[in-house]
Amino acid sequence: MGGDKRMIQYALETLLAPELVKAQAYGLGFDLVGITSPGPMETSPHFDAWIERGFAGEMDYLARGAEKRRDSGLAFSGVSTAIVVGLNYGGREPAGPVARYARGDDYHEVMIQRLNDLHRWLETAIGRPIRGKAYVDTGPILERDLARRAGLGWFGKNTTLVNPRIGSFFFIGVLMVDLEIAADDPFDVDRCGTCTRCLDACPTGAFVESRLLDATKCISYLTIEAKSAIPVDAREKVGDLVYGCDICQDVCPWNVRFAEENRVDAFRARDVATGDARTVARKLLALDDESFRRELKGSPMKRAKKRGLARNAATVLGNVGTEEDIDLLATAAKTSEPMVAEHATWAIDRIRSRAHAR
């Protein structure tokens, strides 16, 4: 009888081996996997100071859940392990007016489903229920901190997590479980060296210094998170970017050399996000309520809402549009939405000024 118990215990310990957990995660399609222990987060004081300085802009939600953000061990009672994963979304895809991460289906759903599958596999392997919770930008958890602690990469000067094998074009997800699994060593090396290409390339000068981003100046913030008008002095700098910005990642040598093709069907670009800047901007500006719901169902781009996308589209047409776009902009200028109307009017003036100069 005692021998049987020892055999069962040995089997359980074998099943809990980090290598097997990682193998299952890779089998589910993740590109990176690391394991660490939850606890106090090293960058939480910097995060608090960042919010205090106003760099979060309108993103008031970032201040919520401060206690869990400062200590990931408070995710739920009994949590003892964080399984951290990365999923590549295609840094080799051509640059375009829509940031690569947002061109297909919502990554939250793709990642959460796979993390839940991993959770169920753990329960089957152990033979008992396991308390767990998956996070993918869905709670007050500093996933980037946990990823570094789990050995997945270092903090680049543009604040993204950079992995030496695949660069930085990947999503981070975390599965918290009340299960003891041996942790990996943290990634303690800074491999950016003296390079400042990401800082120098930012069109809006959003980096206050290395690894310190003023989000209120970031094009991703201006075109996604901000619900108000894009400041007039920033509109020209938005250039041909309709939704989000990849510039600081595009120029990173680690991405230039190691970024990979997208292999997830769900992340393949939808028609509404396909084409040059003028084409995509015209598509977005022409959306009515019904076509917005149809074309962007399950898309990350819905986050900006219809009015935000119309604002962005008008801004881009103001930068790259032609006189052929004036009728579409004039129609938008007659909308009952004052913010969109103001951006459309600005765009018309810009196009006419360029035409007059020619």
Q: For the segment 310-352, what is each residue's pLDDT rounded down to a tens digit?
A: 999 999 999 999 999 999 999 999 987 999 999 999 999 999 9
Task: Give me the count of residues in the chain.
Answer: 358
Domain boundary among 129, 158, 177: 177
What is the reported pLDDT for 4? Answer: 55
What is the reported pLDDT for 232? Answer: 98
What is the reported pLDDT for 338? Answer: 95
**Assigned domain for 199 exists:** no
Query: What is the CB-side half-sphere exposure of residue 14 using CA atoms within 13 A?
Result: 6
Where in the sequence numbering do the catalytic residues fall?
137
Band of residue 358 on the pLDDT scale cut at 50, 70, 90: confident
What is the reported pLDDT for 12? Answer: 53
Query: What is the CB-side half-sphere exposure of residue 71 using CA atoms within 13 A?
Result: 7
Read out DSSP for 312-347? HHHHHHHHH--GGGHHHHHHHHTSS-HHHHHHHHHH
Residue 3 has pLDDT above 70, yes or no: no
**Assigned domain for 287 exists:** yes
Task: Give the largest CA-CA distance in the chain.
Answer: 93
Q: Are residues 105 and 30 in the same domain?
A: yes
Q: Are residues 80 and 32 in the same domain?
A: yes
Domains in the chain, number: 2
Beta strands per DSSP E along the chain: 32-36, 81-88, 132-135, 154-155, 161-162, 170-177, 207-209, 212-213
pLDDT in tens, 79-99: 999 999 999 999 999 999 999
Beta strands per DSSP E along 235-289: none
Tokens representing 176 are 């918290």
**Assigned domain for 48 exists:** yes
Q: Are residues 22 and 156 in the same domain?
A: yes
Tokens representing 24 are 């299952």
What is the reported pLDDT for 138? Answer: 87
Q: Are residues 220 and 344 in the same domain?
A: yes
CA distance 315 to 295: 21
CA distance 129 to 18: 19
Q: Collect all residues with Cβ–Cβ distance below 8 Å to 232 and sequence separation of at least 6.
A: 346
**Assigned domain for 284 exists:** yes
Q: Are residues 142 and 225 in the same domain?
A: no
Q: In 216-270, where does DSSP find H-type helix?
A: 219-220, 232-238, 247-250, 253-258
Residue 355 has pLDDT above 90, yes or no: no
What is the reported pLDDT for 357? Answer: 85
Q: Are residues 99 and 208 in the same domain?
A: no
Q: Are residues 139 and 230 in the same domain?
A: no
pLDDT in tens, 236-274: 999 999 999 999 999 999 999 999 999 999 999 999 999
**102 neighbors 299 (Cβ within 8 angstroms):** yes
**Assigned domain for 161 exists:** yes
What is the reported pLDDT for 11? Answer: 53
Q: Are residues 156 and 209 in the same domain?
A: no
Q: For the residues 21-27, what does the mean pLDDT come to?
A: 97
Q: Are residues 9 and 129 in the same domain?
A: yes
**Assigned domain for 357 exists:** no
Q: Name the residue range of residue 146's domain.
A: 2-177
Q: What single-letter DSSP state applies at residue 275?
A: S
User: pTM to 2 decimals?
Assistant: 0.94
**Assigned domain for 324 exists:** yes
Residue 176 has pLDDT above 70, yes or no: yes
**Assigned domain for 184 exists:** no
